[in-house]
Amino acid sequence: MLQAAQRSEKKTKGKKTAPHERYLEAYRWMLQTRVFEDKLASLYRGGLITGGVYVGRGQEAISAACGMFLQKGDIFAPLIRDQAGRSAFGEPLIDVARTYLGSRQGPMRGRDGNIHRGKPGQGQLAMISHLGAMISVTVGVLLAKKFKGETGFVGLTTIGEGGMQSGATHEGMNIAAVEQVPLVLVATNNHYAYSTPNDREFACTDLVDRAKGYGFEGYTVDGTDLAACLDVIGGAVKRARAGRPPQLVVASVLRLAGHGEHDDASYITDEIKREPFAQDCLKCAEKVIVDLNLADAETLKKWRDEAAAEVENAVATAQKEAAPEAGEEDWCAISMRHLVDQIP
């Protein structure tokens, strides 16, 4: 695996990060995400979160790699299992805590919740639920940047194997290739869309084969292997940035949680849990770190403690903040106030 990590360095020279440094940085985003999402899950179980909680357990390696190669001026359109990538891209934990806990100071001000958040002005688009819809929006942002003469930027968006079957995904991928925008689409096959297994989702041999049909370049990656994720996703970002056609990366993992925290996922079979792709990417990364002595036990513990402290801090801050007040809302869905329909 270190070999893969070293390869990844060769292919992404721009950033000048030693392979194990990047690996460790990614690991720390993964770790922070795991600690944070465990906390969110426990708050949910304690009845302290209104609405759903959706975690990326098992997908942190893929997601961290999605965020880590993006720079200022790039676009990230994450979906529901992308906390690690969002954090690596620059989303502060407090934004997440505020959104889940309904603080009026959060980016969504209580108007939208949980994963439906973003700061489009800073390049992180605010997903809508409808799967596949954000692909063409990302294309539009990239197209406009092209119109404006900007260069060297990329956009990365994610999708599950379930969302990949929507018409919007098809239209979005096709239009990305027609417009030749620097898009990376990272599709994670976690083997279930909510409760539906792969054999009721699609009938092709491998989703990556679709790349050719759309005019994308396609790659697969083992989502449990952090070094491979950094290598393949980093490579895709680099190629898109260099003006290659849009890139599709299909990652394989098992979702190691319910669809949301309300879901006990009892439909996930024991058999599939024994598959190699069912390993926990975080544990795999830890094993690499220990086996190759990339960090000592003390450092690992320090990182864990730091992550816990950051999470506690974010949650405690958001919990102290005021909730939105209906009486203080202006209830206007358009920005031009003189055009608001005055409903008697």
Ligand X SMILES: Cc1ncc(C[n+]2csc(CCOP(=O)(O)OP(=O)(O)O)c2C)c(N)n1
By CB under 8 A, name the binding residues for another protein: 107-108, 111-112, 116, 118-121, 125-126, 128-130, 133-145, 147-148, 167-168, 171-172, 174-175, 178-179, 332-336, 338-342, 344
Question: What single-letter DSSP state applies at residue 68?
Answer: H
Using CB under 6 A, pick the residue from 9, 82, 91, 161 that binds ligand X: 161
- Alpha carbon of residue 244 to chain centroid: 23
Q: Which residues of 211-233 are buried (b: 16+ CB within 10 A; e: fewer)?
A: beebebbbbbbbbbbbbbbbbbb
Q: Is 131 in the site for ligand X (CB under 6 A)?
A: yes
Q: Which does 255 bind (CB under 5 to 8 A by kind): ligand X, another protein, none?
A: ligand X
Q: Which is nearer to ligand X, 207 or 288 (CB)?
A: 207
- Tell me the closest approach of the beta carbon of residue 195 to another protein, in angstroms: 23
Q: Is 130 in the site for ligand X (CB under 6 A)?
A: yes
Q: Residue count of the chain, please give it.
A: 344
Identify which of 47, 73, 45, 76 has the alpha carbon closest to the alpha carbon of residue 63.
Answer: 76
Identify which of 137, 170, 169 has the alpha carbon closest to the alpha carbon of residue 155.
Answer: 137
With contacts defined by CB under 6 A, name the span among 23-31, 113-121, 160-168, 314-322 that binds ligand X: 160-168
**C-alpha–C-alpha distance, residues 249 and 219, integer Å:** 5
**In contact, 158 and 223? CB cutoff 8 Å:** no
Q: Which is nearer to ligand X, 129 or 313 (CB)?
A: 129
Question: What single-letter DSSP state applies at residue 80?
Answer: T
Q: Is 281 in the site for ligand X (CB under 6 A)?
A: no
Q: Which is nearer to ligand X, 194 or 267 (CB)?
A: 194
Identify which of 95, 103, 106, 70 has the alpha carbon closest to the alpha carbon of residue 85.
Answer: 70
Q: Using CB under 6 A as the criterion, what x/- string covers residues 212-251 for binding ligand X?
A: ----------------------------------------
Q: Which does 125 bind (CB under 5 to 8 A by kind): ligand X, another protein, none?
A: another protein
Question: What single-letter DSSP state applies at residue 124?
Answer: B
- Tell me the closest approach of the beta carbon of residue 56 to another protein, in angstroms: 22
Interface with ligand X (CB under 6 A), residue total 16
Q: Which does 18 bind (CB under 5 to 8 A by kind): ligand X, another protein, none?
A: none
- Tell me the closest approach of the beta carbon of residue 36 to ligand X, in angstroms: 18
**In contact, 66 and 82? CB cutoff 8 Å:** yes
The pair phi, psi for residue 214, each rounded to 5°, is: -90, -10
Q: Which does 193 bind (CB under 5 to 8 A by kind): ligand X, another protein, none?
A: ligand X
**In contact, 73 and 123? CB cutoff 8 Å:** yes
Q: CB 122: neighbour CB atoms within 10 A? A: 14
**In contact, 9 and 18? CB cutoff 8 Å:** yes
Residues in 45-84 at the binding interface with ligand X, rule: CB under 6 A: 80-81
Q: Which is nearer to another protein, 128 or 316 (CB)?
A: 128
**Which ranges constitute the DSSP H helices of 181-257?**
210-214, 226-241
Q: Which is nearer to ligand X, 98 or 255 (CB)?
A: 255
Q: Which is nearer to ligand X, 104 or 170 (CB)?
A: 170
Query: Could you list the residues that contact ligand X (CB under 6 A)?
Result: 80-81, 129-131, 160-163, 166, 190, 192-194, 255, 259
